Structure 1
Amino acid sequence: MPPNLERVSILPMGDEIQQRWFDKWQTIVAEEETEKFREFLHSEQCPEQVQELAREPLLLYLLAAMHRDKQLKVEMFANADVGGAKVSVYEQALEWVLEKQRVEEGKNLNPEITKLEPEDLEILLAEAGLCVVQSGGEYAAIKMIEDRLLKQGYKELQALIEKARQDEREDGLKNALAAFYLKSAAKAENSVEFFHKSFGEFLCAKRMVEGLEDLTEKTGKRRKTYVVSDEELEWQVYDLFGYRNLTAEVVEYLMALLVKSQVELVVLFERLHGFYVDWSDGKFIEEREEVLPQKKTRQLWQWGIESGQRRVDIYTGLNVMILLFELHRYGRSHEELQEQLHFYPCGKPGGEDFDRTRLLQIIGYSQCLGNGTFVEKIGKFLKDADLSCAYLYNADLNGANLICVNLRGADLIRANLSGVDLRGANLSNANLRGTDLFSADLSYSKLNDADLSSANLSWVNLFNANLNGVDLSNITWDNQTNWSNATGLHEAREVPEDLQQNPEFAAAVAQSEAAIQQQQ
Structure 2
Amino acid sequence: MASPSQKASKPKGITGRSLAVDGKDLFSALAKGVMHSFQGKWDEVASDSIDAVKALGIGTEPPAIAYILIRRAATASMFELVGETAKSGFFGTKPYASSTKTVLDFTISEHDIPIDKAFFQKPTELKVVKSFQALLCRWLELMGLEAHIANAVGGRFPAYYLYALNEEWKKHSKLYQPLLDSTDTPFQDASNQMWAWQSYASRLELAINESTFEEAFSLKQIYVPLRAYYEVFPIHKELDGMDKRKRTKRIVELKNELSTWLGNGKKDDAIRIISGGPGSGKSSFAKIFAAHIANSTEIKVLFIPLHRFDSSKDLTEAVGDFVTEENILPHNPLSPTNGETNLLIIFDGLDELASQGKAAVETARAFVREVDLTLEKRNSQTLKLRAIISGREMVLQDNETEFSSRRPHQLLTLLPYYIEEEVNDDDNNEEEIIDPDDLYDYDQRDIWWQQYGELTGKKYEGLPKHLDRDDLNEVTSQPLLNYLVALSYTRGALDFTKAVNLNKIYADLVSSVHERAYENKRRYTQIEGMTLESFARVLEEVGLAAWHGDGRTTTVREIEEHCFNNGLDRHLKTFEQGAKAGVLRLLAAFFFRQYGRRSSSGDATFMFTHKSFGEYLTARRIVRAMEKVAKERDNRRESSDEGWDEREALWRWVQLAGPSPMTSYLFRFVQNELRLKGKAKARKIQSCFAELFSLVLRSGMPMEQLPRTTFKQENFMARNAEEALLVCMSACARVTQEISPISHATRLVFGAWFRRVQGQRYSPASALAAYHLDFLNLEETELAVVDFYSANLSNSVLRGAEVQHAIFIQANLNYTNMEGVKADGASFEDATLIKTNLEKAKLLGANFSAARFHEVNLNGARMHDGALEHAIIRDTVTDAVLFELHPAQVASIQRAANEEMLKIHREGLLAEALNNVESES
Residue 703 of structure 2 corresponds to residue 278 of structure 1: no
Query: In structure 1, what is the equivalent of residue 653 of structure 2?
Result: 237
Please give the residue correspondences for 1:290-309 in structure 2 after superposition, counting only pairs within 5 Å: 290=705, 292=706, 308-309=713-714
How far the C-alpha of 1:41 sits from its partner, in A, is: 2.6
Select which of 705, 730, 733 maps to 1:325.
730
Residue 99 of structure 1 contacts residue 110 of structure 1 at CA under 8 Å; is this kept in 2? no
Select which of 305, 315, 327 maps to 2:720.
315
RMSD, aligned CA: 4.1
How far the C-alpha of 1:131 sits from its partner, in A, is: 1.9
Select which of 34, 40, 48 maps to 2:473.
48
Q: Distance in 2 between matches of 1:73 and 1:228?
A: 38
SS at match of 2:348: coil
Q: Distance in 2 between matches of 1:281 and 1:373?
A: 30
Please give the residue correspondences for 1:215-230 in structure 2 after superposition, counting only pairs within 5 Å: 215-217=629-631, 224=639, 228-230=643-645
How far the C-alpha of 1:226 sits from its partner, in A, is: 8.0
Residue 430 of structure 1 contacts residue 450 of structure 1 at CA under 8 Å; is this kept in 2? yes
Partner deviation per Cα, 1:311-353 (whole Å, 9 max, x = no partner): 1101111110112223233332xxxxx4xxx3244x2xxxxx5
Query: In structure 1, what is the equivalent of residue 664 of structure 2?
Result: 248
Q: Distance in 2 between matches of 1:479 and 1:71?
A: 57
Does the C-alpha gap of structure 1 residues 379 and 117 become closer, same or farther in structure 2, counting only changes over 3 Å? same
Residue 607 of structure 2 corresponds to residue 193 of structure 1: yes
Partner deviation per Cα, 1:71-128 (whole Å, 9 max, x = no partner): 23324x33x5xxxx11221111111121137734xx4855548996644432221111
How far the C-alpha of 1:464 sits from its partner, in A, is: 3.9
Select which of 507, 511, 520 maps to 1:95.
511
Which runs of 5 or more residues in structure 1 are unaligned? 299-305, 333-337, 348-352, 516-520
Q: Distance in 2 between matches of 1:367 and 1:65?
A: 41
- What one-letter code is carried by the residue in structure 1 that aligns with 2:877? T
Does the C-alpha gap of structure 1 residues 120 and 309 become closer, same or farther in structure 2, counting only changes over 3 Å? same
Q: Distance in 2 between matches of 1:102 and 1:307?
A: 48
Q: Distance in 2 between matches of 1:147 and 1:197?
A: 22
Residue 393 of structure 1 contacts residue 413 of structure 1 at CA under 8 Å; is this kept in 2? yes
Residue 435 of structure 1 contacts residue 454 of structure 1 at CA under 8 Å; is this kept in 2? yes
Residue 348 of structure 2 corresponds to residue 7 of structure 1: yes
Query: In structure 1, what is the equivalent of residue 740 of structure 2?
Result: 343
Q: Distance in 1 between matches of 2:544 and 2:641?
A: 25
Q: Distance in 1 between matches of 2:486 and 2:589?
A: 19
Q: Distance in 2 between matches of 1:101 and 1:21?
A: 28
Q: Distance in 1 between matches of 2:586 and 2:454?
A: 30
Query: In structure 1, what is the equivalent of residue 102 of structure 2?
Result: none
Q: Distance in 2 between matches of 1:502 and 1:220?
A: 65
SS at match of 1:364: helix
| Rg (Cα) greater in structure | 2
Select which of 489, 493, 510 maps to 1:71.
493
Residue 782 of structure 2 contacts residue 803 of structure 2 at CA under 8 Å; is this kept in 1? yes
Q: Distance in 2 between matches of 1:425 and 1:467?
A: 13
Q: Distance in 1 between matches of 2:641 and 2:764?
A: 34
- What one-letter code is carried by the residue in structure 2 that aligns with 1:429? G
- What one-letter code is carried by the residue in structure 2 that aligns with 1:452? L
Query: In structure 2, what is the equivalent of residue 257 of structure 1?
Result: 673
Query: In structure 1, what is the equivalent of residue 625 of structure 2?
Result: 211
How far the C-alpha of 1:371 sits from its partner, in A, is: 6.3
Q: Structure 1 residues 180-189 or 408-417, which shifts more?
A: 180-189
Aligned pairs, number: 470
Residue 387 of structure 1 contacts residue 407 of structure 1 at CA under 8 Å; is this kept in 2? yes
Q: Distance in 2 between matches of 1:134 and 1:221?
A: 29
Q: Distance in 2 between matches of 1:232 and 1:393?
A: 34
Q: Distance in 2 between matches of 1:252 and 1:140?
A: 22
Residue 541 of structure 2 contacts residue 559 of structure 2 at CA under 8 Å; is this kept in 1? yes
SS at match of 1:277: helix
SS at match of 2:606: strand
Residue 116 of structure 1 contacts residue 156 of structure 1 at CA under 8 Å; is this kept in 2? no
Select which of 423, 442, 464 maps to 1:38.
464
Residue 418 of structure 1 contacts residue 439 of structure 1 at CA under 8 Å; is this kept in 2? yes
Query: In structure 2, what is the equivalent of residue 480 of structure 1?
Result: 870
Q: Distance in 2 between matches of 1:355 and 1:457?
A: 30
Please give the residue correspondences for 1:427-466 in structure 2 after superposition, counting only pairs within 5 Å: 427-466=818-857
SS at match of 1:47: helix
Q: Distance in 2 between matches of 1:486 and 1:360?
A: 31
How far the C-alpha of 1:138 sits from its partner, in A, is: 2.4
Residue 591 of structure 2 corresponds to residue 181 of structure 1: yes
Q: Structure 1 residues 431-440 or 5-14, which shifts more?
A: 5-14
Q: Distance in 2 between matches of 1:13 and 1:102?
A: 35
- What one-letter code is carried by the residue in structure 2 that aligns with 1:125? L
TM-score (norm 2): 0.45
How far the C-alpha of 1:402 sits from its partner, in A, is: 2.8
How far the C-alpha of 1:369 sits from its partner, in A, is: 6.7
Select which of 808, 816, 820 maps to 1:425.
816
Residue 423 of structure 1 contacts residue 443 of structure 1 at CA under 8 Å; is this kept in 2? yes
Partner deviation per Cα, 1:35-94 (whole Å, 9 max, x = no partner): 59733332x4872244235x32xx55543343333223324x33x5xxxx1122111111
Residue 780 of structure 2 corresponds to residue 389 of structure 1: yes
Q: Distance in 2 between matches of 1:62 and 1:449?
A: 52
Query: In structure 1, what is the equivalent of residue 42 of structure 2?
Result: none
Q: Distance in 2 between matches of 1:123 and 1:270?
A: 26
Residue 367 of structure 1 contacts residue 374 of structure 1 at CA under 8 Å; is this kept in 2? no
Query: In structure 2, what is the equivalent of residue 144 of structure 1?
Result: 558
How far the C-alpha of 1:18 sits from its partner, in A, is: 5.1
- What one-letter code is carried by the residue in structure 1 that aligns with 2:495? K
Residue 537 of structure 2 corresponds to residue 123 of structure 1: yes
How far the C-alpha of 1:269 sits from its partner, in A, is: 3.1
Which runs of 5 or more residues in structure 2 are unaligned? 1-286, 288-301, 304-344, 350-389, 392-413, 419-441, 906-921
Does the C-alpha gap of structure 1 residues 22 and 267 become closer, same or farther in structure 2, counting only changes over 3 Å? closer
Residue 280 of structure 1 contacts residue 317 of structure 1 at CA under 8 Å; is this kept in 2? no
Does the C-alpha gap of structure 1 residues 494 and 88 become closer, same or farther in structure 2, counting only changes over 3 Å? same
SS at match of 1:449: coil
Residue 752 of structure 2 corresponds to residue 361 of structure 1: yes
Partner deviation per Cα, 1:209-229 (whole Å, 9 max, x = no partner): 222222233698996468542
Residue 110 of structure 1 contacts residue 116 of structure 1 at CA under 8 Å; is this kept in 2? no
Does the C-alpha gap of structure 1 residues 161 and 124 become closer, same or farther in structure 2, counting only changes over 3 Å? closer
Residue 862 of structure 2 contacts residue 883 of structure 2 at CA under 8 Å; is this kept in 1? yes
Does the C-alpha gap of structure 1 residues 160 and 501 become closer, same or farther in structure 2, counting only changes over 3 Å? closer
SS at match of 1:217: helix
Residue 63 of structure 1 contacts residue 72 of structure 1 at CA under 8 Å; is this kept in 2? no
Does the C-alpha gap of structure 1 residues 426 and 322 become closer, same or farther in structure 2, counting only changes over 3 Å? same
- Which structure features the higher share of strand residues? 2
Residue 120 of structure 1 contacts residue 156 of structure 1 at CA under 8 Å; is this kept in 2? no
Q: Distance in 2 between matches of 1:307 and 1:393?
A: 28
Identity across the alignment (%): 19
Query: In structure 1, what is the equivalent of residue 404 of structure 2?
Result: none
Q: Distance in 1 between matches of 2:732 and 2:683?
A: 9
How far the C-alpha of 1:376 sits from its partner, in A, is: 1.8
